[in-house]
Amino acid sequence: MAYNILVVDDSETVRAVIAKAIEMSGAGVKALFTAANGQEALDILGREWVDLVFADINMPVMGGVEMVKRMKADADMKEIPVVIVSTEGSATRIKGLMESGVRAFLRKPFTPEGLKTTIDGIMGK
């Protein structure tokens, strides 16, 4: 199974590293989209078929939390799973993210294997 994946991070370097980790994980990728913030991500989600989103929390223009909130309010986007990729270690904040509709949380630094496990867990492998 191959997926259309969207990576959202304000750092071009981090986007490249996550994209590479996805490639190395062996998870099937049909198309890989990238966005520098939540607003760019919503624009892409509005015009492309995306199966899974990996997003940072802190980004200029629109952060990951607001992006998820807007996705949940949109009938076409609300079922798309979002994985937050962050250095965040606060269980309190992670609990809040999960309650807001985030499907999974991946703490940096992560391995391609950890990423694959997350993808498989969400996509039902």
Where along the sequence are the contacts to another protein (CB under 8 A)?
Answer: 11-14, 16-17, 20, 58, 86-93, 107-109, 111
CB closer to another protein out of 20 and 78: 20
Residues sharing a CB contact under 8 Å with residue 22, sequence separation 6 or more, in sequence order: 5, 7, 29, 32, 54, 112, 115, 119
Give the residue with the Cβ less far from another protein, 93 or 123: 93
Smallest separation, CB 95 to another protein (Å): 10
Work out how close the CB of 91 gets to another protein at its nearest, in angstroms, rounded to a whole number: 4
Residue 63 or 81: which CB sits closer to another protein?
63
- Quick one: 7 exposed, middle or buried, by C-beta within 10 A (0-12, 13-18, 19+)? buried
Minimum Å distance from CB 89 to another protein?
Answer: 3
Q: How far apart, in Å, do the first and last CA atoms of the chain sit?
A: 9
What is the C-alpha radius of gyration for the chain, rounded to an integer number of angstroms? Answer: 13
Tell me whether residue 13 or residue 76 sits nearer to another protein (CB atom).
Answer: 13
